[in-house]
Amino acid sequence: MALVGAEDRQEDGIIEIAYVLVNTPTAPLMEWTVPLERSDPQLPSMASLDFSIGRFEREIADQFGVTLIGHPQPARLVKHAHWPENYHPLLNDAAPSPGSLADETDYKFLEVDSDAIYEIGVGPVHAGIIEPGHFRFSAVGESIITMKARLWFVHRGIEKLFEGRSYPEAIVLAEKISGDTSIGHSLAMAEAVEDALGIEIDPTSTLVRQLLLGMEQVYNLVNDIGAIANDVAFSIIHAFTGVQREYIMRENKRLTGHRLLRGSLRLGGGELREQPNPDFFLDRLAAMNEIIDIFTSNVMAMDRLKGTGILDTVDAKAIGCVGYVAQASGVPVAQIEAPSRFTAVDHDTPADTHSNGGQNSGKESSYAGDVAARLDVRIEQLRATLLRLAELSKRLGTMPASNVGCDQSYSSLRTNGVGCVESWRGRLTHRVITENGRILRAKIVDPSFFNWPAVSVSLRGAMVADFPLINKSFNLSYAGNDL
């Protein structure tokens, strides 16, 4: 399941629930809708069939006031305790503000009661530059029994902000959903609108978009490799990767005018200011290979990573994990095989290149599901992506200029479309409903929405001191989740 969203069709007296599946056995994309009576919306829950659907349903209950029938855990997901019970912000007739909020300081967490068990609260305010999230640990000695995460402290009403936006404005807004995934989100939004309007993309623009998506992937992977090293006190590796990341960010700006690649996508096209240089990516590959060899040959560093924060295959499948988190736990990450509107980063990893021998071939790999495995997946993705970027640079040098932008008139009809991108964190999906050149409703699903519950599972039995390292090995987006 890639997405479950809702739309308030007040004029028709219904709330429409939309389900989107990708890579089904019979079709690359499958979508169906279920109308609910707006005056008393009741939705039979499918949470017992799929964990991620259950979380989507809880989100819909919070945002639209839908009553869930048969849900095993119908607790609030998005709305914190101080939100009024009857305030549902995505209903068309919802007030712009819920008004004065009650002082609910005692949020009820899952408690494990015993004389030997104590609780540790972390956040929502953290040291350093990090977005807010609250983590409540129940521990015995140094061992974690369970951890409950509370997110949505940076809930900004993003989906509401899309309503009424023109298509170019929607692409710009999508860039700001999660700063480290500017291309992933803006590309998914562009492709969703293009799907709704039937806009075809020329071959050069397709390659430009692939290059931009790959460049976003490599600067984040380089950063993650260094950050994991830093959390085991291997600070020199962090410093070395910081230098390489800076080179990549400067190349981003040379090619697009922005270090985060913003402003380079248009409806119907993509734009590079200058020609990419294949040697740049090969030089980064050589430099990173040297840094990685230093890191992975350090016995003490690797000993800290192996066996730490294990997320096994059964749990990863049950949770519905995506991207490198799923792959590191032995869950095959199928490529998004669909029409041109679906763009996939090539996450293939060569077999037998490291001790775990994992690969992205549609078969389960032998990755161990620990921090070391999540590092290994990133390393192999980085190597494969840098090689592919060098090849894309060569191909772009022989192709005609792209058709930047779209000059066709927009349909005045009400249509919907889906854009699905295999971003650097994993599968990312946007669904839009459009009319008269504007967005009526947008539903956004960042890969972090699927992966956040896995952090708690991976912490069971871990040491309290391992939390920063395990959390960093997932490196999930608060902003992408909270919306």
The pLDDT tens digits for 163-222 are 999 999 999 999 999 999 999 999 999 999 999 999 999 999 999 999 999 999 999 999
Beta carbons within 8 Å of 219's beta carbon, 6+ residues apart:
245, 248, 249, 252
Residue 433 near residue 92 (C-beta atoms within 8 A): no
State pTM to two decimals: 0.91
More confident residue, 340 or 115: 115
* More reliable by pLDDT, 408 or 457: 457
Round the average pLDDT of the chain to a whole number and report it. Answer: 89
Number of neighbours of residue 414 by Cβ within 10 angstroms: 11
Please tell me the predicted confidence (pLDDT) of residue 345: 43
Q: Between 131 and 101, where is the model more confident? A: 131
pLDDT higher than threshold 80 for residue 469: yes
Which of 85-94, 112-121, 359-368, 377-386 is least confident?
A: 359-368
pLDDT of residue 40: 95
Q: At what angle do helices 371-396 and 203-230 cross, to 10 degrees?
A: 150
Whole-number Å distance between alpha carbons of 127 and 211: 35
* 277 burial type by CB count under 10 A (0-12 exposed, 13-18 middle, 19+ buried): middle
What does the pLDDT average to over 366-375?
A: 92
* Alpha carbon 191 to its chain's center: 17
pLDDT category of residue 80 using cuts at 50, 70 and 90: confident
Domains along the chain with CATH numbers:
3-108 (3.30.460.80), 109-150 (no CATH), 158-469 (1.10.645.10)
**Arithmetic mean of pLDDT, 408-435:** 90
Average pLDDT (38-53) is: 96
Of 116-120, 356-360, 448-452, 472-476, give the lowest mean pLDDT range: 356-360
- pLDDT digits 0-9 by tens, 377-396: 999 999 999 999 999 999 99
What is the pLDDT, as a whole number, of residue 110? 67
Question: 105 and 126 in contact (C-beta within 8 Å)?
Answer: no
At 45, phi and psi to the nearest 5?
Answer: -80, 145
Task: From 209, 225, 340, select the one nearest 264 (Cα to Cα).
Answer: 209
pLDDT tens digits, residue range 313-366? 999 999 999 999 999 999 987 655 443 344 444 444 433 333 333 334 344 456
Whether the predicted pLDDT of 127 surpasses 90: no
SS3 at position 7? strand
pLDDT band, very low/low/confident/very high, at 239 (cuts 50, 70, 90): very high
246/252 Cα distance (integer angstroms) = 10
